[in-house]
Amino acid sequence: MNRLTPIILLATAGCAAQASMDDRYDASLQRWKGATRAELEAAWGRPMLVQATPDGTVLAWVKRTDIDDRPGAPGSPTVVVNRSGGGLSGTTVMPSTSPVPAAVPITCTTRFVMKDDHVVSWTFRGLGCGAPY
């Protein structure tokens, strides 16, 4: 085994884990097929983007989770969660003596395509994808 083998194995495992997460997130979005805009907004909040396209109206939401991995409580990173566009309030958990966190943003953008006020398809992009409920 050469020195690059562990790195290649780790990278491959990361890609497989992301593919599995994407599959689960896509499966969780199946329940929104046929939903109305009012139903989406009741669960997801107001969209960050509404855009008319030749394929239909696109509604987009962006979720951002900031991870702060500085030393804090033993064995667990400090997590700062902010959700944009969903009308959800942010949550910050960090040691009281800590300065402003050095956060790493992880985002997920989910877009629903609407025709005749019903979801017909969706796309998503980002490492932080997960259904809001």
Amino acid identity at 89: S
Other beta carbons within 10 angstroms of residue 119's beta carbon come to 21
Amino acid identity at 111: R
Asked whether residue 112 is domain-assigned, the answer is yes
Asked whether residue 71 is domain-assigned, the answer is yes
Range of the domain at 42: 5-125
pLDDT at 7 over 80: no
pLDDT in tens, 92-115: 555 545 555 566 778 899 999 999
pLDDT at 22 over 90: no
Asked whether residue 57 is domain-assigned, the answer is yes
Asked whether residue 132 is domain-assigned, the answer is no
Q: Residue 120, by phi and psi: left (phi above 0), alpha (psi -120 to 50) or beta?
A: alpha
* Count of the separate structural domains present in the chain: 1
Asked whether residue 131 is domain-assigned, the answer is no
φ, ψ (nearest 5 deg) of residue 94: -160, 155
> Which of 61 and 74 is assigned the larger pLDDT?
61
Amino acid identity at 93: V
The predicted model scores a pTM of 0.61
Of the candidates 110, 126, 112, the residue with the CA atom closest to the CA atom of residue 39: 112
